[in-house]
């Protein structure tokens, strides 16, 4: 049974059709890769799921909830977490503080209690910091906990964005090109983290990725978009051998 199901999604901006009749679903514990050339509409799918864009037609269901029309912070409260292509972090804050920002939906205190720093507030602060520290250990970034994000190299910042998504304690992860800008060692680390999330936490993930070797090695299934339209879907072996997919990426079909 699908954790997240997108049915016949269509998105337009004026006369420009960005997505047309896009359908996909991801099951519990599944790693679904969403691939396609630049401009295919992949990030627009995530923006529709997260409430940043409102599609003209189609349905987006997360478990028993219809996400179309929901505000982004309400979608996040349901446990839908995502990363961004360029990190979108708070550069002046430390790595630890960025993770605490990612836990904003888990805070259960009010202005009055926080202003007086009451015992209940202190207890929650300790718990949130404990969880954030565990995530830093998970992604092997603990040594940067008190470092301002602006002082970190871009690849490390991308891993901080990945950790911040985990800080939400998500029920599903939307990963938007998390390997972009990473060197070889960082990509290998990211692959390990993704596999651990899949096998230990059993989180469903939708993963936008351009590294076809990573996709072939890690993904359970692939969905391909081209100019905002579905092109192919299936196992990595099936999809990456599809002449239509090869043509979309390389501009010409491979001959036998």
For residues 135 and 62, is the Cβ–Cβ distance under 8 A? Answer: no
Q: What pLDDT is stored for residue 249 in this prediction?
A: 80
Q: Which helix (H) or strand (E) holds 66?
A: strand 65-66
Domain boundaries, the chain: 1-79+170-256, 92-167
Please indicate, yes or no, whether the overall pTM of this predicted structure exceeds 0.85. yes
Among 197, 196, 203, 157, smallest CA distance to 178 is for 157
pLDDT by residue for the chain (256 residues), tens only, comes to 799 999 999 999 998 999 999 999 999 999 999 999 999 999 999 999 999 999 999 999 999 899 999 999 999 999 999 999 887 899 999 999 999 999 887 776 666 556 556 667 677 788 889 999 999 999 999 999 999 999 999 989 999 999 999 999 999 999 999 998 899 999 999 999 999 999 998 999 999 999 999 999 999 999 999 999 999 999 999 999 999 999 888 665 444 3
- Quickly list H helices, 3-88: 42-49, 72-77
Beta bridge partners of 27: 2
What span, in angstroms and rounded, lies between the C-alpha atoms of 160 and 141? 8
Q: What pLDDT is stored for residue 109 in this prediction?
A: 63
The yes or no reply on domain 1-79+170-256 and CATH 3.30.70.3340 is no
Q: What pLDDT is stored for residue 104 in this prediction?
A: 82
Q: In what order do the strands lie in the sheet with 2-13?
A: 16-27, 2-13, 57-62, 65-66
Q: How many CB atoms lie within 10 A of CB 24?
A: 19
What span, in angstroms and rounded, lies between the C-alpha atoms of 52 and 145? 30
């Amino acid at each position: 049974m699908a954790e997240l199901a997108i049915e016949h999604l269509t998105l337009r901006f004026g006369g420009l059709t960005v997505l047309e009749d896009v359908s996909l679903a991801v099951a519990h514990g599944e790693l679904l890769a969403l691939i396609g050339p630049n401009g295919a509409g992949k990030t627009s799918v995530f923006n529709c799921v997260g409430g940043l864009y409102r599609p003209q037609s189609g349905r987006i269901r997360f478990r028993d909830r219809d996400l179309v029309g929901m505000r982004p912070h309400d979608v996040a409260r349901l446990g839908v977490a995502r990363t961004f292509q360029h990190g979108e972090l708070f550069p002046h804050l430390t790595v630890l503080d960025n993770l605490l920002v990612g836990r904003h939906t888990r805070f259960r205190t009010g202005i009055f209690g926080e202003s007086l720093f009451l015992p209940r507030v202190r207890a929650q602060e300790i718990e949130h910091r404990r969880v954030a520290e565990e995530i830093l250990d998970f992604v092997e970034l603990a040594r940067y906990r008190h470092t301002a994000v602006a002082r970190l190299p871009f690849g490390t910042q991308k891993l901080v964005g990945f950790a911040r998504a985990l800080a939400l304690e998500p029920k599903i992860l939307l990963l938007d090109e998390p390997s972009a800008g990473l060197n070889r060692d960082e990509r290998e680390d990211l692959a390990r983290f993704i596999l651990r999330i899949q096998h230990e936490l059993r989180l469903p993930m939708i993963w936008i990725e351009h590294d076809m070797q990573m996709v072939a090695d890690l993904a359970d299934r692939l969905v391909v978009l081209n100019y905002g339209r579905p092109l192919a879907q299936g196992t990595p072996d099936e999809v990456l051998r599809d002449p239509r997919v090869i043509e979309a990426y390389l501009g010409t079909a491979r001959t036998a």
